[in-house]
Each structure stands twice: as C-alpha cells, then as structure tokens.
Amino acid sequence: MTTKIERRIKIKYRVRKNINGTAERPRMSVFRSNKQIYVQVINDVTGTTLVSASSLGLEACPKKEQAAKVGEAVAKKAIEAGITTVVFDRNGYLYHGRVKEVADAARNGGLKF
C-alpha cells in the first residue's frame, strides 16, 4: 500500500516525463505545503530557476487568496524577465483549489499556457 506522498511522487514522475521547460517556453512548477505555496519558472535545459514567488509573508489572508497573489506575482516577474509562455507543472497535485488559483491568476497576469 502506498502513502499519499508516494502516490503524488508517482504522479509527478508520470507527468514530468512528458513536460520539460526550454529557454523559449520554461516550466512553471508549483509546490504546495500545508501553510505556504511556492512557484518557480524553470529552464530545464540549463537547470536554472528564472523566476520564483512564494506566499511567505502573506499569512494574514486565506490560502486561496495567497495562491492568487503568488500567481499574479510570478506572472509579473516573468513578464518583466521577458517570459510570456510557460508549461504548467502541477507537480503531482490535483488541478483543484490552490493550484488552480495560482494557474488562473498567472493567466490573468498575462502568462500563456
């Protein structure tokens, strides 16, 4: 029997074998913990993080609002860095709740994926 974390890691590897980020279209990876949410825009060819944002310091508002603010922040930073299109990597999480909020806010912020 597999645990929840092992199950998510299996899904993550299954998704990652089809998704990779390039310089033209980097990968936007989401990590969700119980209290925070973190987003990175990664170029997998060179293995570098181009842009990142997190909900650290936003503990006063609800988690879904934190996720939306992080999505807007990463979109703003990415556009300033010259990135307009990304590949969305949900990192094994369901596309639901906070992960969906990040994606929708990033789309509203101007990113295409």
* Domain spans of the chain, in order of start: 4-108
Domain 4-108 - what CATH class? alpha beta
Question: How many angstroms separate the Cα of 43 from the Cα of each of 2, 65, 92?
Answer: 31, 27, 19
Give the pair of three-digit tokens for residue 32.
Answer: 């969700």
Q: Which residue type occupies 97?
A: G
- If residue 18 lies in a helix (H) or strand (E), which one and from where to where? none
- What was the pLDDT predicted at 59? 85
Closest by Cα among 40, 97, 106 to 69: 106
Q: Which residue type occupies 60?
A: A
Is pLDDT at 84 greater than 90 in this prediction?
yes
Look up the pTM and report it: 0.90
The alpha helices in the chain, defined as continuous H runs, are 4-16, 63-80, 98-108
- What was the pLDDT predicted at 2? 80
Q: For 15-55, what is each residue's pLDDT tens digit?
A: 888 888 888 899 999 999 999 999 999 999 999 999 999 99
Average pLDDT of the residues in 50-73 = 94
Whether 91 and 12 have beta carbons less than 8 Å apart is answered as: yes
Question: How many angstroms separate the Cα of 90 from the Cα of each of 15, 53, 59, 97, 113?
Answer: 9, 15, 22, 12, 12
Of the given ranges (17-26, 65-74, 86-95, 103-112), which has the lowest mean pLDDT? 17-26
